[in-house]
């Protein structure tokens, strides 16, 4: 029952949730955050967890001295990597069965969107997906089912996790307690994610243009 109350509080008021857990449970806050990000990236039915906003808010909490920012980044990054690895091996084990609709806990619409994303971007999906809610929970599952090489997957996964966690936590640490940002968090997070995806999107467009016009030439 206490866990259920904490979960409800996480969605209602994430900043107060972090402060409450840190005040009442001390270092256990790091364990809680590890488990949240492990679950979001490692268990597809937990794709609803508010990863981006929670990272930003955790960074803002670290700026007040409640959390250690370095420990925060390291622990959450490890949680996200372990989650991805778990999901990858689940996908590898299930193989093509994930697409036939017989596994009830897999959202087929989200799965197909991620599959198409993977088909378009290949291994870069594992990095790009970190910044896309829902897709980041299904990307390792799809990579595992597609039999992507484990070492290649882990390299993309590790880089993506560190880039995702480090950039958003740092942004929260530097700017999260500014009143205007605090009051417009959702909009700012969307803009930030689009900005982070910008360089990758431009690179993909350039690559596609070269491929298209190269064939015509």
User: Which segments within 7-115 are labelled E, that is strand?
Assistant: none
Asked whether the beta carbons of 35 and 150 are under 8 A apart, the reply is no
> What is the value of pTM for the model shown?
0.71
Phi, then psi, of 65 in degrees rounded to 5: 95, 0
Q: Burial, 61: exposed, middle or buried (Cβ in 10 Å; 0-12, 13-18, 19+)? A: buried
Name the phi and psi angles at 168, rounded to 5. -75, -40
Q: How many CB atoms lie within 10 A of CB 91?
A: 24
Measured CA to CA, the distance from residue 23 to residue 15 in angstroms comes to 12
What would the mean pLDDT of 24-31 be, rounded to a whole number? 80
Taking only the tens place, the pLDDT of each residue in 116-137 is 777 776 777 788 888 877 778 8
- Picking from 25-34, 147-156, 202-211, which range would have the lowest pLDDT averaged per residue? 202-211
Structure tokens belonging to residue 56: 């930003």
Do 144 and 90 touch, CB atoms closer than 8 A? yes
């Amino acid at each position: 029952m206490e866990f259920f109350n904490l979960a409800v509080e996480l969605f209602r008021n994430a900043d107060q949730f972090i402060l409450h857990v840190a005040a009442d449970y001390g270092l256990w806050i790091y364990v809680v955050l590890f488990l949240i990000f492990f679950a979001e990236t490692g268990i597809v039915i937990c794709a609803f967890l508010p990863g981006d906003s929670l990272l930003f808010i955790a960074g803002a909490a670290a700026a007040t001295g409640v959390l250690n920012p370095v420990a925060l980044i390291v622990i959450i990054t490890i949680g996200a990597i372990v989650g991805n690895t778990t999901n990858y091996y689940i996908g590898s084990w299930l193989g093509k069965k994930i697409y036939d609709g017989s596994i009830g806990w897999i959202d087929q619409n989200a799965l197909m969107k991620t599959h198409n994303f993977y088909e378009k971007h290949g291994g870069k999906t594992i990095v790009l997906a970190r910044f896309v809610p829902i897709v980041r929970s299904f990307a390792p599952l799809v990579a595992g089912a597609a039999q992507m090489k484990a070492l290649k997957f882990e390299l993309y996964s590790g880089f993506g996790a560190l880039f995702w966690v480090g950039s958003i936590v740092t942004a929260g640490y530097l700017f999260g307690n500014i009143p205007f940002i605090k009051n417009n968090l959702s909009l700012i997070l969307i803009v930030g994610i689009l900005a982070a995806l910008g360089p990758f999107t431009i690179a993909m467009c350039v690559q596609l243009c070269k491929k298209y016009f190269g064939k015509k030439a």
